[in-house]
Amino acid sequence: MSYSQAIYDKIEEYFQEFGWKYRFVEDKEYFRAGFNIDCKLGETTLMVRPRDTFYTVHATIKVNADSDCRLAVAEYLTRANYGLNWGNFEMDMNDGEIRYKILVDCGDHCECLPSNTVFENSIVLAVQMMKKYGDGLLAVMYGFKTPEQACKDAEAK
């Protein structure tokens, strides 16, 4: 086990309290939950990974960027990231996987376990960012919009 039991217990408590369906993937040490989102992506999968002094939230999608559009998608995600206060988009340039990442620090000895509000916000924000930028992401992937225009459109909503 490479994570804090206190952080694990708190995350599980939150999932249960909010009534969200989830499972813990033992071999990869993360909680997994799916959420429907109101955009063309349709859904996002959350992976909440407890660690020794923090936890991360990754919102991923089923569609990877093909190699021929990765530079345009990277530009789009860079434009989307500019000015964000909490979290960021990432793309694996090798396989085109795209995700939104949030890290929540719990202190060196887990003395700062997050409140329900902080936990809920970390989950909701990851989902909302996929919803806000999802349509633009697909428009860039399929060549319907430039990264600049797609980002402007997403941020105008």
- Count CB-CB contacts under 10 A for residue 20: 15
Task: Give CA 140 to chain center in angstroms.
Answer: 19
Cα separation, 57 vs 116, in Å, equals 15
Cα separation, 76 vs 103, in Å, equals 22
**How many domains does the chain fold into?**
1
Q: CATH no. for residue 78?
A: 3.30.1460.70
Cα separation, 107 vs 150, in Å, equals 38
Q: Which structural domain, as residue segments, surrounds residue 130?
A: 5-156
Q: In what order do the strands lie in the sheet with 54-60?
A: 23-25, 30-36, 43-50, 54-60, 98-105, 88-91
pTM of the entire structure?
A: 0.92
The predicted pLDDT at position 115 comes to: 87
Long-range contacts of the stretch 82-87 (C-beta < 8 A, 24+) = 86/125, 87/57, 87/125, 87/126, 87/129
More confident residue, 79 or 17: 79
Convert the pLDDT of each residue in 97-151 to its tens digit. Answer: 999 999 999 988 777 888 888 988 999 999 999 999 999 999 999 999 999 999 9
